[in-house]
Structure 1
Amino acid sequence: MTGTAVTASLLGDPTRVRILEALTAGPMRTIELAAATGMTPAALSRHLNLLRKAEVIARRDVADDGRGRAYELQPAALDALAGWLRSTSWAAELATVSGEPQTRELLARMGGFLDAFAASDVGFFERHLRPDAVLVFPYTRSLFDKQGCIDSVASHPPYRRHQILTEPVVRLLGAATTVITVTAEVATAADDTARPTFITAVITEGDPWQLAHLQWTPAALPNEKGTCHD
């Protein structure tokens, strides 16, 4: 992964996000960070070392009182991450896959969910998930309802790959419900490799449109090996 992708992966852990939030107030010693994050100094050690290795934070000697070292933010790494996230618009990218206007619109909506995770845009999920929405993802032990999805936004790593592999199939169910199915290679910043995934989304039209059901299922593509890029 690139340095920016590594940074994004690290920030998929809520403890590290709390560390960075605390450091926005200025340099802090380990004991001060422990108090701010509700962690013990020993539990923070690994997280601090990973953030230092990625050059997201730096450790410096505190010369004024001889009481040890303090940690501070390294703005360059965070600026690079912010620029990377701003440059990624999955809504626009996925829409280019199809020449059919309706399919392009549906793909853009699916991409909007990926963009909302990157931006931690809770409002997007509040608007575009039905109250009874059910989301099913592989490698998780439980289903997600609307609130469960919203609760996961802050700690969800951004997506770095979502390549459409098959022609999307769109089916209408009555006047206001659409089902779109597609196979894609998917990876977040926390994933080392992309995984082929069969995706089904059920969308109800309205103002605003809302997702009623989303299911991701591992897809075994014969004689093909997924590749990933940053």
Structure 2
Amino acid sequence: MDYPRINERELKFPIPSGIIVSGPSSSGKTQLVLRLLSCADEMFEPPPKAIVWAYGEYSAQIPELERQGIIVHAGPPSDEMLNKLPKPFLIVYDDLMGEIDAKKLADLYTKKSHHNNFAVMFLTQNLFDKAMRVPRSNAQYIFLMRAPNDMLSIRNLATQIFPREQGFLIDAYKQACAEPYGYLLVTLHANTNNILRLRTNIFPEDDEKIIFVSKNG
């Protein structure tokens, strides 16, 4: 089967965009995002002029983030703070499900990121939490971390995204997440080449990039 040539730019995350990273505790969510930020200039288009890490609980990684020039903020940043940042920028919400109300979270994915030219990335342990309904429906990218005890969520997502081919996402997820800290990137951006919907090994240093292709083409 012949597949279309892939432009390198198609592999990058555009700004503005909405991203969700979902997985249980200790699944590698934070480390994956830190890895993404370490090569943000290569992974985002255009490269962010500022990066904000909003956190719920202080951790040992906060000083290291500051040393890297990342702006750290306890709790959700105010609109005033976001409006002052140079654009485009990237903001990560880590462990803030209990500190940001559902409407504000929804607005980040439906209005604010696009109007204010930034990419938003929300880390969650439960993709199907009630507060995640609007973000989940409007996110262009969803990282699914290894979660052996939560296949029901994966099946539910597969039903929504690939209603006629649910097994495609489920099989790709099982392969991508076979090892600890594995992940599957689900791309829902309207302008994305269909062949790039499901991927893993997406980083510049990964020797072998992996794209999952449906048996039905």
Q: Which TM bucket (shorter chain)?
A: under 0.3
Which structure carries more helix by proportion? 1
Q: Which has the greater radius of gyration?
A: 1
